[in-house]
Amino acid sequence: ELAKGVNGLDKVVLRGARGSSAEVYLYGGHVTSWKNDHGEELLFVSSKAIFKPPKAIRGGIPICFPQFGSHGTLEQHGFARNKLWSIDTDPPPFPTNSSNKAFVDLILKPSEEDAKIWPHSYEFRLRVALGPGGDLMLTSRIRNTNSDGKAFSYTFAYHTYFSVSDISEVRVEGLETLDYLDNLQEQERFTEQGDAITFESEVDKIYLSTPSKIAIIDHEKKRTFVLRKDGLPDAVVWNPWDKKAKAMADFGDDEYKHMLCIEAAAVEKPITLKPGEEWKGRLELSAVPSSYCSGQ
Ligand code: BG6
């Protein structure tokens, strides 16, 4: 259903069979809420988030396209997260989920203004779906519709802000022993050690060619997020910690304790599409009580 969100911005509310829900703003094609069957919010959105163009909403799942971070000449994280998307009334057939009614299809196409910043024609289709078990699924399909025969390249991320009870009690599994680029050390390349990742200071790393499954274990909440991705080889891990938190106008000073960004991404190797070619990048999130995961 279409509803009015903060500042009268349009949002789509999805409702799952057993009480789960999700909200997607047309502004940014931005998921701002994902709740489980018990109505508990699973994503972090800052209490200071500004729901007003051209500022991207601080929290939820911003979409970084066609540039991740400062890896290029465009504005930080590209422009998709601060454009007004439309409901896609004519989505292409999707292989799965056709019987599942809790989904919405959005589309972003460049305006004439946009084409001055990034001189390419494309169709970016985003499907956001709630699975029967309350899982949240995002599928992006990007097609090169250039008529001048030119290929284009981009980097991409689902910049997901997970809600956690206490960052100091959180562990991330699935990134051990991998190579990463450290944004806090001029993108130098390092190799992660064998242990699960824990947090005690600012972190801003791009893990390269990761497994498709990453787990975020929140001991205090006794909850595990499982992230599955497809078409997105890298994973960004970000927490601003106290100093950077204070420097961000749209982020509370202490909120870094209650969030963690794990971002399914394609950064190291940009994706190149020739005219007529389409790319697909999928993210699937589930949240399960930790006791169910023991022994796995
Ligand atoms: C992360 C980047 O993905 O996003 C960080 O790795 C950046 O370097 C962070 O600070 C937040 O970016 P922004 O533009 O939303 O403030």
Tell me, using a 6 A CB cutoff, whether residue 239 lines ligand 1: no
| Best of 70, 76, 237, 268 for a ligand 1 pocket test (most atoms within 8 Å of beta carbon) | 76
Ligand 1 centroid to Cα of residue 213, in Å, is 22
| Best of 44, 57, 68, 77 for a ligand 1 pocket test (most atoms within 8 Å of beta carbon) | 77
- 293 pLDDT higher than 90: no
Q: How confident is the model at residue 241 (pLDDT cuts 50, 70, 90)?
A: very high
219 in catalytic set: no
Tell me, using a 6 A CB cutoff, whether residue 59 lines ligand 1: no
71 in catalytic set: no
Instruction: Over range 129-146, report the average pLDDT.
Output: 96
**Segment 6-30, tens digit of pLDDT:** 999 999 999 998 999 999 999 999 9
Contact 77, 62 (CB under 8 A): yes
ipTM comes to 0.98
> Kindly report the CA angle at 47 between 136 and 65, in degrees rounded to 5?
50
Report the predicted TM-score, pTM, of the whole model to 2 decimal places: 0.96
Domain range list for the chain: 2-93+101-293
Q: What pLDDT does residue 95 have? A: 67
Name the fold adopted by 2-93+101-293.
Beta-galactosidase; Chain A, domain 5 (2.70.98)
**Segment 265-276, tens digit of pLDDT:** 999 999 999 999
